[in-house]
Amino acid sequence: MQHITTLFQKTMENQTLLLLAILLFVTSTWFVLHHAKRRTSLFIILLSIISFGLGSAAVALLPIDLSYASSAAAGANSTAATTSDGDDTASDINTNAVDPSNNPTYLPWQVTYWSTFLLAWLVLPITRETLLSGQFTLRSRLKDGMYRSFRSLFLMFCAGIVAIVGMAVHLKSFHLVTIVLPVLMALGNTYGLVLVSLLLGNGLVNIPKRYWREACPANELRRARIVACGAEEELFEAVMRLEDMEEKIEEVCQTAVCLREGEGSDDMMENENGVVTLGSLGSSSRGRRATRCFCCCRGNGVTEFHECLEDLVRRKNETATLCSERRTRRGSRGRANGTHNDERDENGDGEINTMDVKYLVTLNVQLKKAQERVTSAQLRWNHLMEHSRLFSALMEDGSIAGLMGNGSNNGGDGDASSNDNLLSSTSPSSCHKVRYFLQRLWVRYLRFPTYRFISLTTAVLSVFVLLSEVTISASLNLSPFSWTLHALDSYYKHGGSSSTKIIFQIAALIPLLYMSLCVYTCLFQMSLLGPYCLRGNRQSNGVALVFNAQYLVRLQFPLGYNYLLM
């Protein structure tokens, strides 16, 4: 009978962990799809879902592990107190209680640790460097990404070895040299704890203040209009940088066409939309091998250069009509080319060989960054405009038809896709009328008390976390979270019900979940990251997803260690 009961308990524990894993990956799937752009590749989306899911596993496993460890210790103590077989039997009972194989979370911990280790230090860095690479073929980009990632790892490993040797010399104990791997892990946790401290301190203050500030809809509308000015300026600056890159590419095209067989620049054509084509350059370069020296290269080099240049022009033409109403340099290509040549000569950079594949790789990297910046700025501007119009209509008691009118009148500030989305979301159908009514009810009546309640609750949690962090090194335990868990543990040891175990897990999860929210929210929304910053409403590119997933995976274990110290 006891064997059947034990087997039933293990089955229930496995089902609980399985449901928890499903919940984690469903949540991570929603998170990634909410942030990823529509043209993000399927591989990047799947990799980000797996990374965010495994990166959040420690937050879910740690409270469960604490409850099982507490119950196992309580059972071992009660059994040891009632046994009469002597100290050897009690010692065996305690050994079985602390045996990690008896803990149902042991295998999930092993899977989480080693999978996130591979993701954080190999898979995600290589993927990010591959996405940032300017090479023109997938194989070359993957090779370049692996080279850059392994070079960074080698430099970090060398710095760790130097630090270990330096500490050994300083402490006059060369025992550290014999335990290189544990010391490197300690250094990695120290690096993570520093980042956790910085991000956690910012999040503990920023989250309550943010909800308090955004509680009033009028203040939120005014803030959206103020932020829109900065977003518009950022969009104009991004468009100007993209135009600079397009002019540099057109300059290379002109030089290539002029140097080809002395045929002049008739092969490069530009239509009314600014789309540049190379005419017969690509077909002739692929149809036959070049037979004369071209920029000190052989015929194969010329063909490779032409193919790379065609790919670069093709990438440039993909965004030729992006933000067309904000472009200011149509028809000024020749004047801009002369300006670039003068600037390069004045800066002493005349030795740069613009007719080289390496230069095209550099241009490709800069073009990709410029295009991503323009696209992100455009999406952010469209979202702010839609958000501002929606709040204005909801607060001014406007109807759906009035909201559609405002959207159509102000549609010149964004692109056509934004206006289509706004009109489709506010079309006077029954479903959208219900949605509009619920939004109006939320903004005008429920938003203020709800946000103020969340702000006060998070402020109390922030005070408790700060008190626990400040008194970590104190001999007296002053952590409110620790008091709560000890009280529940004592109640469970003195004959508490099985529901006490669930309450213990919830009580252990709340502070860890809030600390994780503070750290990761600050990381995702850090403006210093620039293009790596995550933005909702499908405004984040693949590089931003991979970068934030990488640091989420790296910081989960230092954050869990910091939580255990509390």
CA distances from 359 to 134, 312, 449 (A): 10, 11, 58
CA distance 515 to 465: 8
Neighbours of 342 (CB within 10 A): 10
pLDDT interval class at 98 (50, 70, 90): low
> Which has the closest alpha carbon to 224: 394, 79, 99, 369?
394
With a cut of 80, say whether residue 325 has pLDDT above it. Answer: no
| 199, 562 contact by CB (below 8 A) | no
Tokens for 201? 């301190």
- What amino acid occupies position 6? T
Q: SS in 3 state form for 516-553? A: HHHHHHHHHCCHHHHHHCCCCCCCECHHHHHHHHHHHH
What average pLDDT score do residues 148-167 get?
84
> Which has the closest alpha carbon to 540: 554, 529, 556?
529
Q: Please tell me the predicted confidence (pLDDT) of residue 269.
A: 52
> Which has the closest alpha carbon to 93: 79, 103, 82, 104?
79
Tokens for 401? 């038809």
In 60-183, the DSSP E strands lie at: none
CA distance 98 to 72: 8
Write the pLDDT tens digit of every residue in 242-292: 999 999 998 888 888 887 655 444 455 555 555 555 554 444 443 333 333
Indicate the SS3 state at residue 270.
strand
CA distance 241 to 230: 17
With a cut of 80, say whether residue 354 has pLDDT above it. Answer: no
| 558, 194 contact by CB (below 8 A) | no
> Which has the closest alpha carbon to 79: 66, 64, 91?
91
What average pLDDT score do residues 468-481 get?
87
CA distance 190 to 182: 12
Write the pLDDT tens digit of every residue in 393-450: 887 765 555 454 444 444 444 444 444 444 444 445 678 788 888 888 888 889 999 9
What average pLDDT score do residues 320-334 get?
67
Q: To the nearest 5 percent, what fractions of the chain are helix, strand and coil? A: 80, 0, 20
For 276, list phi and psi in degrees, rounded to 5: -95, 135
Give me the chain's average pLDDT, please: 77
> Which has the closest alpha carbon to 294: 307, 303, 283?
303
- What amino acid occupies position 322? L
Dihedral angle over CA of 172, 174, 175, 178, nearest 10:
160
CA distance 255 to 333: 13
| 452, 212 contact by CB (below 8 A) | yes
With a cut of 70, say whether residue 312 has pLDDT above it. Answer: yes
